[in-house]
Chains A and B, each alone.
Chain A
């Protein structure tokens, strides 16, 4: 090999490494820009009252979004309770089923559901939950968010369960364990880190959803009095404050956005720590 070709190979290698690094930078720059801008705009309006007080009437300074923060957490919790079991068990079915046709059809339908605009899902929840109950409610909001969450969790679970090596299933079956036990006790734990990641992606997505909450959770300027009551949510509050013509409301909207993004971050971190197995490696 001549010295020239070695030199050319090294230069090509360096060039491509630099391009790849540049591309990575391009991907993460917007994240830091957004975060920095939120800090710049929102940090000023963040004080203890923001986390502990209800919104003040127009014209009165101060107040906070305590009800919206709690509301968002409750809505996320409801969505998780309704959506995670369905999504995870459904994903297990898609990956483990021996049926030839049904999983393919379900997979396609889940992808379609994933592509349905969230406002349409809001209308759906309005029709099946709000109309029969004759009132806007936290339940309806949680239901709408769960519907958005299910296809994401379903597909993520399916992919992760498929990645579990067949040799582990065989080991379980050869020990004289029934298939359902192998699936739940051996395959599912092995796929857990990936499933948690999938669930977190779904959480991040629904935490910021506004449209499906407009006519389900509806929003509330006060504390809610039960899950069948309209409930405040950060995205709704941010929207309402951002389009209002008052400067201090704009500042609070920025602060709300900052809190929302930190909330998503914290929920992700907590979920990772809680569900990390003793020997689990984060994927």
Chain B
């Protein structure tokens, strides 16, 4: 089941640098929310606050509230939280010492699931969900690192899906991929939104317009505007949003 995300007065720092300022935002359960903005605007930091990966960096600090399905995530054990909030990174990062199969079920196996048939089921389900099954079903024993870039990224998506999260965070998942692989990932995002809440960071505005229902525009650590994607792109309320989406800066 997808979960909603409510963010209240979120502030984040790297050491002395104040990278997120007073973010207030509500992300509905299910559907795709895109986060856009120029480099260094805090959009990656924002989604890394949602699964508490921000605080993994030495010197990083967070204040404010993040509610996932109504529960305060900063009161949770981060390990349990991250099983509910999956993440896909900018560069595909399959585990190089594991096979395709082992990569897909890494989250389950390393969390203690030993049952072979359950692992096999989970692997097939996750790889199908990630639209990778047909391409790798005969090569499940091959190294995860031997796949192409786009396949590796979908393998990482499968790996995140295998633990059955309710939210999937995607941090510029296509920025290292060619247009065909990008189209595959976008189609995947489109299909997954019925079962998951997806938050996707992108510096590609066309992509945001194509895949998302809602869009948030970040600039210099602040949330400038948040709304329905079509409206935000067609009739931006803030002049800074308009300047960015018409390509006058960023």
Contacts and interface: CB of A to CB of B under 8 A. Distances in A.
Given A98-B58, A279-B145, A176 B95 contact: no
Interface stretch (A50-58, A184-192, A228-236, A241-249): A184-192
A238 B114 CA distance: 52
Contacts of B53: 170, 173-174
Interface stretch (B22-30, B61-69, B83-91, B194-202): B83-91
Contact of A190 (B51, B91, B95, B143): B95
Interface in A121-138: none
Contacts of B110: 172, 175, 177, 181, 185-186
Contacts, number: 77
Contacts of B81: 176
B163 A176 contact: yes
Interface string A77-113: 0000000000000000000001000000000000000
A168 interface: yes
A170 B143 contact: no
A170 B97 contact: no
Contacts of B145: 279
A185 B111 CA distance: 11
A171 interface: yes
Contacts of A192: 97
Report whether over half of chain B's contact residues are helix, strand or loop; otherwise say mixed. mixed
Nearest to B141: A278
A174 B143 contact: no
A176 B83 contact: yes
Contacts of A190: 95-97
B97 A189 contact: yes
A277 interface: yes
B107 A167 contact: no
- Using C-beta atoms within 8 Å of the partner chain, give the interface range for chain A: 20 to 34
B56 interface: yes
Contacts of A278: 97, 99, 143
B56 A171 contact: no
Interface in A191-209: 192
B160 A168 contact: no
B93 interface: yes
B130 interface: no
Interface in B45-102: 51, 53, 56, 58, 79-84, 86-87, 89, 91, 93-99
Nearest to B165: A176
Contacts of A189: 95, 97
A278 B140 CA distance: 13
Given A98-B58, A185-B110, A279-B96, A177 B79 contact: yes
A117 interface: no
A171 B156 contact: yes
In this complex, the member of A175, A190, A192 whose beta carbon has the largest number of chain B beta carbons within 10 angstroms is: A175
A178 interface: yes
A178 B82 contact: no
Interface string A149-177: 00000000000000001011011111111
A178 B91 CA distance: 22
A190 B103 CA distance: 13
A175 B106 contact: yes
B159 interface: yes
Contacts of B89: 167, 170-171, 174
Interface in B134-193: 143, 145-146, 156, 159-160, 163
A9 to B, nearest CB: 35
Contacts of A174: 51, 53, 82, 86-87, 89, 160
A280 interface: yes
A186 B107 CA distance: 11
Nearest to A177: B110
B49 to A, nearest CB: 13
B80 A176 contact: yes
Interface of B: 51, 53, 56, 58, 79-84, 86-87, 89, 91, 93-99, 106-107, 110-111, 143, 145-146, 156, 159-160, 163
List the 3 closest pairs (A to B, CB-CB), nearest first: A176-B83, A279-B143, A176-B82
Given A177-B79, A279-B99, A279-B143, 10 more contacts: A98-B58, A171-B89, A174-B86, A174-B87, A175-B107, A177-B110, A190-B95, A278-B97, A279-B146, A280-B97
19 contacts: A167-B91, A168-B93, A170-B56, A170-B89, A175-B82, A175-B83, A175-B110, A176-B82, A176-B83, A177-B79, A186-B95, A186-B106, A189-B97, A190-B97, A278-B97, A278-B143, A279-B96, A279-B99, A279-B145
